[in-house]
Structure 1
Amino acid sequence: MKFRSVILGASALALLSVGSAKADGELFFYNWSNYFPPELMEKFEKETGIKVTLDVYDSNETMLAKLQAGASGYDIAVASDYMVDVMIKEGLATEIDAKDFENFKNVAKPHDTMKYDPDRKYSATYLWGTTGFTYDASATDAEMERSWKEFFEPREEFRGKIGALNDEVEMFNAASYYAGVEKCTEDPAEAQKVLDVLLKQKPYIAVYSSEGTIDRMSAREVSMHMQWNGAAHRTKETIPEAVFVYPKEGLTYWSDHFVVPTGAPNLENAKTFLNWMMKPENAAEASNYAGYMNSIKGSGEFMDPSMNDDPAVNMPEEYADLLIAGQNCSVKARDLRNRVWTKLKS
């Protein structure tokens, strides 16, 4: 979901920050970095005549904060499952009635609905995956446990060689699984246990960054990195010894969705794009690039065989019980989580 930055010109950034008048043939797209194939964007532009401008973010919270601050120039934003709920409740999402789109018939169950938008009034499916960690097996002679312990209480050879996501939700969730704490806890004492885990790990951390995780591992700047499984798949292309871990304590299962923000200047162009992305060949191209599975029927025939051969993407069946769904925590729980993150980063 999510890796290297795409830099826009100053004029484009200013436009996206303050909003823009409707302009025929344009689409302003807000997405995780390195999470959409440039070639697929060019294909869309060629087939539709709609010019796409991309702006990127490094976390759901960064995206939300910008929309809350009044950014009104985006036509499409990509939001994880729990963030779709937040956007709907805060009036930041436009009704699009995705089920009425011509190509919605291609959406496979259970992705034709979702917990926070059961009728798909506000969202359309994109990609889905898991969050674990990857390590370079050539960096250690030890037999590694299939546990978050290897990430949060690392072996000495990994000191200063660990990358963590700069994402309070992903990091808090993982630490809560390891600490045996409910990830949406409202109890300060329980949150302290999570903070203790994160603080104990901190001396081993080289960087907190959600971008560049593939490049960082491939250059061997770090030997272990918290990663989304698609990033792990792409890391393995340059480091065959890379191993994606499904921790026995559990790991987060997430799904990402297209949402049209309130005030989108090019609503019809946004709908055109969403319908176009429900074509099997287009969904497959996004999967092949990002390394994550999609939910479009018929896309399998266009998928890279390496996707099916990599356990980071095609999860072994015995790990299915380890998956923990994303959850939109209460305001009290989110505030507590944020205080933990702030203390960690201070």
Structure 2
Amino acid sequence: MTERPLSRDEVDIFMRLRPHSRRAFMAAFGATAAALSLSACKPAEPASGEGTKLVIPGSEGSKLEFYNWDTYIGETTLADFKAASGIDVNMTLFANNDELFAKFRAGNPGFDLIMPSNEYVARMIEAKMLAPLDQSRIPNKKNLLPEFQNADFDPGRKYSMPYTWLVLGIGYRKSAMKGGVTPDSWKYLYDSAEYKGKISMLSESADVFRIGFKYLGKSVNDATPELIKQVEDMLIKQKVNIKNFHNDDGQDLLMSREVDLVLEYNGDIAQKETEDPDLAFVVPKEGSLLNSDCMCIPNGAPNPNNAHAFINFLLDAQNGANITKTILYPTPNAAAKALMDETYKDNQTIFPPTAVMAKCEYGKYPGSAITQAFEAAMTRVRAA
């Protein structure tokens, strides 16, 4: 591993910054991933029935290298796993899926467990970067909601286990909305000067263009060259009204009042709503893009047995609930969700209304040609 381990002071800063965006911490220490070992954190008090050591068949040793989004784990999860297994988890942070994918182009640099989003799971399967899972070692898969037991992007869950799910929507400041109107259409971000200079969009090209497809009444997967050009032209026209394209820190721009509307994930806004009741989140009436971050073992993992044990540990009901209480993203773990209180279960930022969610879709990996078309079009938008 070549990344620089964080100092004690940096770890303290990391913990004080929690919870923020999955990516927000990266801005504090630069764009490159930072290696972070939290094994020294005090474990939580054992839950009922816990306290015995995990027995890991064929355990390779006492280490596990984990590549994860920032601020995307429970406060004591790594220490709890070490207390239960004796395995020290070294967590290294990445900023986005492109960085994750690039890391493995030349082979596995030494990681045991990684956390790609659903589209990148499919892309990494195609590129033969992922190892098949031994589901007999993951009995806690039974805790997953029925709709997460299988996945179109990974039939049979051969290569991935779900960690969270996410939906893109509009985060906004209620007091800044003209006439108190809820911004329940993508028009406010893509095709309106009403909030000129107070709009921030995500920087990830595929997400921005797919939401544009939704606004135009199409599927997020209708990625034809003609439709990409139509969204590109619309964004170039709208750019005069957009303050910036953010790196998934839109909730911080809302908090600082730099903008009033952001394209952002529900979990990021849910975290900030606990600090500022003037913030809110809506999935627009046209529908939106769904994502699911997944646990995968890359080919060449030095410690695959430890990785299987850690996946199973994370899918435990109490461990999953401890994570969810920290990160406030929707959990696919039914047993963990059952342990959460009503302020989580009834939160419509975390769990938007069923009627709107019915209009939301997962993005499918469209192949390298369309992926490159998204990136080239976004480059032209930025340069316009």
Same fold (TM over 0.5): yes
Native 8 Å contact 1:137 1:243 kept in 2: yes
Change in 2 beyond 3 A, CA 1:206/1:138? same
Native 8 Å contact 1:33 1:57 kept in 2: yes
User: 1:79, 1:292 → 2: CA distance?
Assistant: 16
How far is the alpha carbon of 1:335 from its aligned partner?
A: 2.2
The yes-or-no answer on 1:340 pairing with 2:377 is yes
Instruction: Please list, as runs of the form range in 1=range in 2, the aligned pairs for 1:241-260 lying within 5 A after superposition.
Output: 241-260=278-297
How far is the alpha carbon of 1:181 from its aligned partner?
A: 4.7
Deviations 1:236-290 (A, max 9, x none): 1122122212112210122221011111122111111101011011111222222
Equivalent residue in structure 2 for 1:3, among 23, 28, 31: 23
User: 1:186, 1:145 → 2: CA distance?
Assistant: 26
The yes-or-no answer on 1:199 pairing with 2:236 is yes
User: 1:154, 1:49 → 2: CA distance?
Assistant: 56
Equivalent residue in structure 2 for 1:78, among 108, 115, 137: 115
Change in 2 beyond 3 A, CA 1:71/1:200? farther
Code of the aligned partner of 1:212:
D
The yes-or-no answer on 1:148 pairing with 2:169 is no
Code of the aligned partner of 2:25:
S
Task: Tell me the equivalent position of 1:221.
Answer: 258
Change in 2 beyond 3 A, CA 1:308/1:188? same
Code of the aligned partner of 1:93:
L
The yes-or-no answer on 1:167 pairing with 2:187 is no
Deviations 1:57-77 (A, max 9, x none): 232222112211435222111
Code of the aligned partner of 2:189:
F
Task: Tell me the equivalent position of 1:123.
Answer: 160
Percent sequence identity over aligned pairs: 27
Equivalent residue in structure 2 for 1:137, among 171, 174, 177: 174
How far is the alpha carbon of 1:223 from its aligned partner?
A: 1.7
How far is the alpha carbon of 1:34 from its aligned partner?
A: 1.9
How far is the alpha carbon of 1:155 from its aligned partner?
A: 4.2
User: 1:98, 1:205 → 2: CA distance?
Assistant: 46
User: 1:11, 1:139 → 2: CA distance?
Assistant: 36
Task: Tell me the equivalent position of 2:129.
Answer: 92
Equivalent residue in structure 2 for 1:179, among 213, 216, 219: 216
Code of the aligned partner of 2:143:
N
User: 1:102, 1:182 → 2: CA distance?
Assistant: 36
Deviations 1:20-46 (A, max 9, x none): xx9832222112222222322222223
How far is the alpha carbon of 1:319 from its aligned partner?
A: 1.6
Change in 2 beyond 3 A, CA 1:49/1:216? farther
Code of the aligned partner of 1:4:
A
- TM-score of the superposed pair, with normalisation by structure 1: 0.88
The yes-or-no answer on 1:29 pairing with 2:57 is no
SS in 1 for 2:157: coil
Q: State the number of aligned residues.
A: 336
Task: Tell me the equivalent position of 2:45.
Answer: none
User: 2:365, 2:242 → 1: CA distance?
Assistant: 28
Q: Which runs of 5+ in 1 are unaligned?
A: 14-21
Deviations 1:141-181 (A, max 9, x none): 3324410011123444x333322222112111111212345
- TM-score of the superposed pair, with normalisation by structure 2: 0.80
How far is the alpha carbon of 1:186 from its aligned partner?
A: 5.4
SS in 2 for 1:92: coil
Alpha-carbon RMSD across the aligned residues, in angstroms, is 2.5
Native 8 Å contact 2:317 2:336 kept in 1: yes
